[in-house]
Structure 1
Amino acid sequence: MRKVASDRNRQQPRTRDEWIGRLCDALVSESETSHQSVISAMVSNGIRQDDILQSYIPEAAQRLGEFWLNDSASFVGVTVGAARLQRLYRDHAGIGGQGWPTRSIPLGQSALMIVPSFETHSLGGFAAADQLRRHGVWVHMAIGLNAQELRAAIHAAPFSMIGLSIATAESLDKASELIAALRETIEVLPPIVVGGRIVSVANNVAQRCGADYAVTTAREAVSYCGLATLSTRVGSPEIC
Structure 2
Amino acid sequence: MGRGAQAPIPQIDRHSLRQLETHFVAPDIYRRGDLALRQSQLAQMVSDRVIPQLLRLHDEIVPEAPSVEAVLSVLAPDRVDIAGLADIVLGDDLEAAVRYVIVLRDRGLSMETLFIELLEPTARHLGEMWDNDACDFIDVTLGVARLQKLLAAFNNTHSCDALDMRRTVLMAMTPGDQHFFGVTMVERFLEASGWKVQTETAACAEEIAEAARTRWFAVAGLTAGSTQMIDSLSETIGLIRKRSQNPHIGIMVGGPLFAEDPSLVAAVGADATAPSAPTAVLVAQKLSDAASAHLN
Q: What is the TM-score when the length of structure 2 is the normalising length?
A: 0.40
**Greater fraction of residues in helix:** 2
Q: What is the TM-score when the length of structure 1 is the normalising length?
A: 0.48
Higher relative contact order (CA 8 A, sep 6+): 2
